[in-house]
Amino acid sequence: MNAIISASELASELTGEKPPVLLDVRWQLTLAKAAGEPPFDGRTAYEAGHIPGAVYIDLDRELAGAPGARGRHPLPDLAEFGAAMRRAGVSSAAPVVVYDGGQGWGAARAWWLLRWTGHPDVRVLDGGLPAWEGPLETSVPTPAEGDFEPAPGATGQLDAEGAAALARSGVLLDARAGERYRGEVEPIDPVGGHIPGALSAPTNENVGPDGRFLPAEELGARFKALGASEGTEVGVYCGSGVSAAHEVLALAVAGIPAALYVGSWSEWSSDPSRPVAVGPDPQ
């Protein structure tokens, strides 16, 4: 099953016999609060216009737990996550399509959580809302209650210890910008650098100028050059487990399964006893 869907394919499916449940997860990482500016408001953006029938999902409140020792976007309480999905109309037997404002990170986080908790048919709108050429609506739908019950998978998720081990035994990719990986700048977390053994693989290099994923063959070649290919154990982390979900999605497009270290650097760097590597060298 494809992990992404084009805007034209979505438009066709929305008029078909089994239209997908649509989730709008507009979110973006912002440092506006530190600069004294109001943070990005995904709900306001949603209410100003969304794909007809889409239900807004709040990443910070419904796709993540409270920030703390487990990171800035730890796993949500699964009972609360399941309730939020059911309120949005998500059922196990119905396909789901997730989109955001175009960056792809928020949609990928929802995709990963739904897949990890057992939903069999979830796709991300490639290119997000900017790729959509159909009409928008401002009315807020009230879908029928869904029946989705989260059942977390035994694989596909890493903790700090698992990420450290994978950096030695397999391939651990760091999806942040290269300067954060190297420790040259760190605008958010207590210390800059990377998990020893991790390889720099910025997630923005997985998409073209239009925000859509590169062809699967190009993605596969990129990841294989980093040592990540089918049959190799692969994991990804970022700052707080959001942009890394987008890289896990890119790997899926390339046909390469990968696990997500949800706590990511925000969890790793919160413990001063954990080792930190700096510079371009993985070690």
Residues annotated catalytic, as ranges: 238
Percent helix / strand / coil, the chain, rounded to 5: 30, 15, 55
Using alpha carbons, select from 281, 267, 105 the residue that is nearest to residue 189: 267
Give the helix/strand (H/E) hosting 237: strand 234-237
Contact 71, 267 (CB under 8 A): yes
Contact 4, 115 (CB under 8 A): no
Burial (CB count within 10 angstroms: exposed 0-12, middle 13-18, buried 19+), residue 210: exposed
Place of tokens 């700052």: 239
For the chain, give the number of residues: 283
Return the sign of the alpha-carbon dihedral for residues 135, 54, 207, 1: negative
Using alpha carbons, select from 164, 176, 173, 277 the residue that is nearest to residue 232: 173
Token output for 126: 């490639």
Beta bridge partners of 97: 22, 123
Q: How many CB atoms lie within 10 A of CB 47?
A: 13
